[in-house]
Structure 1
């Protein structure tokens, strides 16, 4: 009897082989992202050349050749013993209090520090995912903090806090106040305007359209001039609001008009079935918007919302044109001081301002990226 050869079928999968060494680690990342083709190779080399042309001189000016200690302009002037002088950080160190507080009274600056601390607590409490009691945080940030901040910064007689007029405010304090008010009020006002523009009531829709298109059709400086110069002409002098308050109102309304279009884009991206499903459940208009539509629309428009907030934060520098002493205005005033008059003083001041704005905007953008990933805004799997 002839024996047939037995065949065996492997039931277990063969272990996966590791990728080639050229496709792993740093080498694999470089090959895939920077040197994946002729065009990428050329662009990578050009980018490296540009970085080589920009980064070393920048580091030399900001760090290696910089002057960190000094009492006056003599420390930041070229001498035979020091042929190259970089950034005059000694100038920034001496004027840092002026850059932060402006002309705020020295013995009252603890109130500004307290405001910064309370604002930081509110931001972390409201935005951090691990922070508890978000409803309490919202009440603290949107109700308690503004009231306490006004009493601290302006003064409150029952608490024996002397009155400090806004004309003495300046520096980073003004920049933070203007940007915070604009960012906080622009979103709810923008939501209301966006809903008004989509409303079926003709009067509401017409008012929203006129306001949005008019404000978006003029630059921010025009709105600031209107609020600071033209508004007092239409009201009695006794009713004329404070100059800083006028700027805050102008910035908030300007930002709200742009935010309304951002929110409207999110509302238009919501499928019609979401509206029909909410209506089938018997939800009222406001419950449908608050529970179903707006959360999805705002999630979709997170990148655009953050982009608008970053642009607003940078645009707050325009308030110095209407006589408000913001952060950039303090640098303008300090750089012409004869005590620190050197060829590098102005450049150092502007570099310090650029670093401040970059750090703040970078932190906002990184937080937004984290929120996008957490909410899966792009619906990626």
Structure 2
């Protein structure tokens, strides 16, 4: 071996990485173009912030009896929100009983937060506790909303509205759609031609029909296809329409994740002697669902916002309640306040969903494939 080969075989130190100036501000002021864009955006944000502060607080009206009194300053009418916020949040639910949907939402939020915490899934005992808590909480929420038990005044579902109705339609619809979507995705990839054709036809039909049309069919035309003495609550019909519609979209997202799994994974399952369902439950589906987390989150958020379409079947969700809040004569002409209030609620909930999904992606290592 000559000296040049020996010199090449000697370990060399790694190349020095150039350290960017400004530390955490790198990319903001390290070059003249970056600094100019940064300063321009900061100036715009400051101007917008000052204008919003002036409109919402400096010229805001905190006490007023009519929309005309609020219009004198041209600011945000806080008096309207103080007078109508309960109608926006709870819709036509009886005023004296609105503590019941409020308590139901608190119970649901607490249990959902506990269920999404990774620590709750670490031990078998906590998992069993969650499995027992969900049926109990669901029955409690149903009893609170419907009433008729323990001295609670009965409230029919046609009087439900506002944020509780939106949360029920979104959460129950998405949960049912997710389970159905997994079965549809597996069925569309099945080797059985009849099953594959049925699942494909289901997906293509519900993806090709607008959700408004499905809600209309479920509400108006459904009674014509069943016996006269057989009835179904309109909320349940809307819930089924939601679940079927979004199951078709989720199924295609999950099918994409299944197709992304290398064939070697299937061969490994066969070599281990795993049955079809064992392979799907333990090996294939966990990987496929991890891949499609961003797509599923997009569908979850779309489903949450599309609950506003139930207005076509005379159900008053959060957005419908905001529309109804201006129906009183003294508040005619006020539209910015209720829509801004509702937009902030939608934004906050969607931001929480997005933040959790990003954390879930980091924990599961989606970006490390």
Normalised TM-score (structure 1): 0.84
Q: Which moved more, 1:128-137 or 1:182-191?
A: 128-137
Alpha-carbon separation, structure 2, partners of 1:18 and 1:196: 51
Task: Indicate whether 1:312 and 2:300 are aligned.
Answer: no
Give 1:171 deviation, angstroms: 1.1
8 Å CA contact 1:125–1:131 kept in 2: the answer is: yes
Would you say the 8 A contact 2:28–2:35 is kept in 1?
no
Q: 1:271 to 1:151 in 2, by over 3 A?
A: same
Contact kept? 1:212, 1:257, Cα under 8 Å: yes
2:359 corresponds to 1:370 = yes
Matched with 2:127 is 134
1:292 pairs with 2:290: no
Structure 1: distance between partners of 2:327 and 2:151: 37
Matches within 5 A, 1:71-220: 71-78=65-72, 84-131=73-120, 133-141=126-134, 143-157=135-149, 159-220=150-211
Alignment of 1:332-371 (within 5 A): 332-342=323-333, 345-371=334-360
Contact 1:126–1:138, Cα closer than 8 Å, also in 2: no
Moved more, 178-187 or 68-77: 68-77
Query: Aligned equivalents of 2:93 and 2:327: distance in 1?
Result: 20
Q: Is the 8 A contact 1:194 1:261 kept in 2?
A: yes
Kindly report the root-mean-square deviation, in angstroms, between the aligned alpha carbons of the 2 structures. Answer: 2.7
Whether 2:271 is the aligned partner of 1:271: answer no
The TM-score with structure 2 as length reference comes to 0.87
Change (3 A) 1:216 1:54: farther
Corresponding residue SS for 2:120: coil
Instruction: State the distance in 2 between where 1:203 and 1:61 align.
Output: 62
Equivalent residue number for residue 69 of structure 1: 63
Sort the Cα spacing of 1:348 and 1:199 in 2 relative to 1 into closer, same or farther, 3 A.
Answer: same
Superposition map of 1:223-234 within 5 A: 223-234=214-225
Residue by residue over 1:155-189, the C-alpha shift from the partner in whole angstroms, topping out at 9 and shown as x without a partner, is: 244x3333211111111121111111112112111
Q: Distance in 1 between matches of 2:171 and 2:286?
A: 22
Give, in angstroms, the shift of residue 296 of structure 1: 0.8
Q: 2:23 aligns with which of 3, 8, 25?
A: 25
Which secondary structure state, in structure 2, belongs to the residue aligned with residue 213 of structure 1?
Answer: helix
Greater CA drift, 146-155 or 186-195: 146-155
What's the offset of the Cα at 1:312?
0.6
CA distance in 2, matches of 1:52, 1:218: 45
Report the 3-state secondary structure (helix = DSSP H, G, I; strand = E; otherwise coil) of the residue aligned with 2:155: coil
Q: How many residue pairs get matched?
A: 353
1:6-63 per-residue CA deviation (whole Å, 9 max, x = no partner) reads xxxxxxxx9x99977x70335434146xx58x5x677657756765675543443334
Work out the CA distance in 1 between the residues paired with 2:196 and 2:54: 57
Q: How far 1:255 sits from its partner (Å)?
A: 0.9
Gaps of 5+ in 1: 1-13, 79-83
Unaligned runs of 5+ in 2: 1-12
